[in-house]
Structure 1
Amino acid sequence: MKQTRNWSVLLGAAFLMATSAVGPGFLTQTTVFTQTMAASFGFVIGISIILDIGVQLNVWRVIAVSEKRAQDIANAVLPGLGLFIAVLIVLGGLAFNIGNVGGAGLGFNVLLGVSAETGAIMAAAIAIAVFLVKEAGKVMDRFAQVMGFLMILLIVYVAITSEPPVAEAVQKAFLPDQIDIIAIVTLVGGTVGGYITFAGGHRLLDAGIKGQAALPEVNTSAVSGITVASIIRIFLFLAALGIVSQGYELDAANPPAAVFQLAAGNLGYKLFGVVMLSAAVTSIIGSAYTSVSFIKSFNKHVAKYENRVIIVFIAISTAIFVTIGRPVYLLILAGALNGLILPITLGTILIAAYKKQLVGSYKHPVWLTLFGGLVVLVMAWLGGYTLLQQLPQLFK
């Protein structure tokens, strides 16, 4: 019975991480890069998957063996660092959640014809309902799994109907015509950046899966999460490639919707609504849950009333979207912050992996440290560059 429960939790954590990553930005990002890079984008996806696995294994393993959340690990490395990281995560999570709510509103708009604002409120109500249940963790796990499988099935269907040049895609995945470093970093940041890095690791900790003995399970869950997100990314890439290779131009206002509609007509457009809604609602849940998990160490009332705080987080995100709309510059700044959060948090995790007071007798694999160090350096440079480029626009 325990084994069955563990598998449910492991899959739940994996899908929570994956569906947190697969939001409105993920869908748009993938189709836009496919349009600009065509089959060569497969190479970018391949490299980013390898880097993603390196990031997640580093983070999830150290959280498990230290039996502490990321902010508590950071405070043990350097007093005050945990609070600083928590503030970054919560602000970034709130900003991105506004985009997630907007994406959910668009999904309902496509499916039911209601306004994006009304759709956003309906989506927020679904997300809030998850946390009104006493066993919210189990409901969240199952909801993420069902929505994740649904997205995979629908995207695979659209990929088949778009008739992509699979042989060319496989060839260019290993011998690309062009390599876009910015695209690689964007995909890494979008899949394992910000709060997403810790969604699954914190979920496993809350479920009691921790300690060195649990590392095989932790590894399985981490790799499963990246695998799910990668499957969705690959088939969405193939769907978009099939359309682009036929000479169609994607609608700049909504590239992923154009892919679905051009591949499968009006049915495809409705399927896009389902995928967008599923991606957005699961991202709302993942963002709210993980963001609040970063502040409950600092206040016992937050820990005691965690579900209520999560509901307030979702309500605030929705209220900002409905009253103000999607604050473009806030999202741009949040995107740059996301690029900076990853090297700060991953760098902290790598230092913690070698502190005996945190990990005891645990020996962190050298290859994981090297992988993590590479990601820290690249993301720090490009995240800083992006932030410097975008900050002046905020004061125009």
Structure 2
Amino acid sequence: MTQAEVRKAATPRRGAMYGAMMLMATSAIGPGFLTTTSVFTVQMGASLAFAIMVSILVDIAIQLNVWRVLGVSGLRANELGNAVLPYLGWVLGGLVFLGGLAFNMGNIAGAGLGLNAMLGLDPIIGGGLAAVIAVLVFISRRAGVALDRIVVVLGAIMVLVMLYVAVVSAPPVGEALKNTVMPEEIDGVVITTLIGGTVGGYITFAGAHRMIDSGYTGPENVGEITRTSVLGIIVTGVMRILLFLAVLGVVATGVALSEDNTAADAFQHAAGEIGLRFFGVVLFSAGLTSVIGASYTSVSFVTGQETSQANRSWLTIAFIAVCAVGYLLLGKGPQQLLIFAGAFNGLILPIGFTIVGWVAWRRRDLLHGQAYPKWLLVLGALAWIFTVYLGVFTFSDIVALWG
């Protein structure tokens, strides 16, 4: 085979892996991500830098383990759970599905608010339009390719726009760096919510499930699986840091930001009218990619790999429709709904990660006999203990968020 033929053969593989990576990142970088980071920056100021650092470290530990175990085994998390203990996978799938419903209502609302900020469109019409676009992705005959391409393009747009706003807001970088290691304030609920909004619930498995559906699994692909998972977390971490700095730059000047749409107000104060339009671009992109990611992954938890692509697409379309109607009927404000959903997903996280950790530790048969790196197992165990601790000690506070 010539070098040109090798490159041509590798192109679909590379596209699928990039798509899986960006699906993980853009599922995390949703309206909830923008909302929680902005609200908590206003509440905690530069001290939020510590919570962000902790969340990124936990994200890396979790995703390295999740991608490796699922990727090498070739099994989705729900299938892996059923292999460990009968019906355990379906219990996890049910919890993730419920978390995905809650998150997706906020994602649709967020996309609608994004179009309102960008074009002045009514948020309800904007949310409906975002749901229609997401449906069209899954109606496509080449739904997988369409999914991969749209999340890569929109993800790149979000990072570039966020970089611009972070620069023009002129944040106190030195103060943020100091609080990264010596925070003036630490809040367990904030840390749980940030982690839950980045790797909680369905988000934990979005990229790994997409990778499995693309067929690039098994011990022979472990190197690429690891590299792709780390790149996805880096993209997510960079986006969170840029957003934090953008809002911090505004907060540091003493400006009081709106409680109803904190992020939009911060962008407008940082860059004027164009800042508000840019926020609309980011929020719409974040909302649309998260609607796609939440729908795809939530449905993957209640179906098997034997389910046909056509049936899976129709189930995903139905899921999107239910979420759109649910948001209209629920009546909760988008900001409140998104913060609660992130916290709820943070409580689900230890359950799914327990399955992954058990397989890594005790079930080499599910990993095709491959030995699991001890350093990675220890890293995963520490992350698991930390998430369980946070979940237990912040549960009552998280329930209160719904009130």
Q: Normalising to structure 2: TM-score of the pair?
A: 0.92
Q: 1:377 Cα shift? A: 2.5
Residues 5-39 of structure 1 show CA distances to partners (whole Å, capped at 9, x for unaligned) of 22212211111011101111111111122223322
Q: Name the aligned partner's letter for residue 113 of structure 1.
A: G
Pairing 1:142–2:149 present: yes
Q: Aligned in 2, Cα 1:377/1:205: closer, same or farther, shift over 3 Å?
A: same
Aligned to 1:312: 318
Q: Name the aligned partner's letter for residue 108 of structure 1.
A: L
Aligned to 2:43: 36
Aligned to 1:373: 381
What is the CA–CA distance in structure 2 between the aligned matches of 1:262 and 1:197, rounded to whole Å?
34
Pairing 1:78–2:80 present: no
Residues 317-366 of structure 1 show CA distances to partners (whole Å, capped at 9, x for unaligned) of 11122344337897676545412221011011110113132113212222
Which region of structure 1 is more displaced relative to structure 2, 362-371 or 62-71? Answer: 362-371
Q: Aligned in 2, Cα 1:46/1:122: closer, same or farther, shift over 3 Å?
A: same
What is the CA–CA distance in structure 2 between the aligned matches of 1:107 and 1:138, rounded to whole Å?
25
Q: 1:43 Cα shift? A: 2.6
Pairing 1:105–2:112 present: yes
What is the CA–CA distance in structure 2 between the aligned matches of 1:238 and 1:215, rounded to whole Å?
35
Aligned-residue identity in percent: 45
Q: Aligned in 2, Cα 1:47/1:127: closer, same or farther, shift over 3 Å?
A: same
Q: 1:231 Cα shift? A: 1.1
Asked whether the 8 Å contact 2:200–2:348 carries over to 1, the reply is: yes
1:305 match: secondary structure = helix
What pairs with 1:16-35 in structure 2 (closer than 5 Å)? 16-35=23-42
Aligned to 2:282: 275
Q: 1:192 Cα shift? A: 0.4
2:206 to 174, 191, 199: 199
Which region of structure 1 is more displaced relative to structure 2, 81-90 or 357-366? Answer: 357-366
What is the CA–CA distance in structure 2 between the aligned matches of 1:34 and 1:327, rounded to whole Å?
20
Q: Name the aligned partner's letter for residue 370 of structure 1.
A: V
2:186 match: secondary structure = coil
Asked whether the 8 Å contact 1:11–1:224 carries over to 2, the reply is: no
1:348 to 348, 352, 355: 355
What pairs with 1:372-391 in structure 2 (closer than 5 Å)? 372-389=380-397
Aligned to 2:269: 262
Asked whether the 8 Å contact 1:88–1:337 carries over to 2, the reply is: no
What is the CA–CA distance in structure 1 between the aligned matches of 2:32 and 2:25, rounded to whole Å?
13
Aligned to 2:4: none
Unaligned runs of 5+ in 2: 1-7
Asked whether the 8 Å contact 1:14–1:225 carries over to 2, the reply is: yes
What is the CA–CA distance in structure 2 between the aligned matches of 1:393 and 1:209, rounded to whole Å?
40
What is the CA–CA distance in structure 2 between the aligned matches of 1:40 and 1:158, rounded to whole Å?
20
Q: 1:83 Cα shift? A: 0.7
1:154 match: secondary structure = helix
2:192 match: secondary structure = helix
Asked whether the 8 Å contact 1:336–1:383 carries over to 2, the reply is: no
What is the CA–CA distance in structure 1 between the aligned matches of 2:274 and 2:54, rounded to whole Å?
33
Unaligned runs of 5+ in 1: none
Pairing 1:289–2:330 present: no
Q: Name the aligned partner's letter for residue 380 of structure 1.
A: V
What is the CA–CA distance in structure 1 between the aligned matches of 2:164 and 2:107, rounded to whole Å?
24
Residues 354-394 of structure 1 show CA distances to partners (whole Å, capped at 9, x for unaligned) of 31321132122222222222232232233244444565897
2:124 to 114, 117, 123: 117
Q: Aligned in 2, Cα 1:181/1:321: closer, same or farther, shift over 3 Å?
A: closer
Aligned to 1:179: 186
Which region of structure 1 is more displaced relative to structure 2, 338-347 or 194-203? Answer: 338-347
Q: Name the aligned partner's letter for residue 179 of structure 2.
A: K
Asked whether the 8 Å contact 1:195–1:291 carries over to 2, the reply is: yes
Q: Aligned in 2, Cα 1:59/1:321: closer, same or farther, shift over 3 Å?
A: same
What is the count of residue pairs matched by the alignment?
A: 394
Aligned to 2:216: 209
Asked whether the 8 Å contact 1:336–1:386 carries over to 2, the reply is: no
Q: Name the aligned partner's letter for residue 312 of structure 1.
A: A
Asked whether the 8 Å contact 1:102–1:326 carries over to 2, the reply is: no
Which region of structure 1 is more displaced relative to structure 2, 105-114 or 274-283? Answer: 105-114
What is the CA–CA distance in structure 2 between the aligned matches of 1:185 and 1:139, rounded to whole Å?
33
Pairing 1:169–2:161 present: no
Q: 1:135 Cα shift? A: 1.1
Q: 1:107 Cα shift? A: 1.1
Give the alignment's Cα RMSD to 1 decimal: 2.2
Aligned to 1:364: 372
What is the CA–CA distance in structure 2 between the aligned matches of 1:74 and 1:268, rounded to whole Å?
45
Q: 1:256 Cα shift? A: 0.4
Q: Aligned in 2, Cα 1:114/1:157: closer, same or farther, shift over 3 Å?
A: same
What is the CA–CA distance in structure 2 between the aligned matches of 1:195 and 1:254, rounded to whole Å?
25
Q: Name the aligned partner's letter for residue 269 of structure 1.
A: L
Residues 99-147 of structure 1 show CA distances to partners (whole Å, capped at 9, x for unaligned) of 1111111112222323221111111011111111111111111111111
Aligned to 2:5: none
Q: Name the aligned partner's letter for residue 366 of structure 1.
A: K
Asked whether the 8 Å contact 1:93–1:288 carries over to 2, the reply is: yes
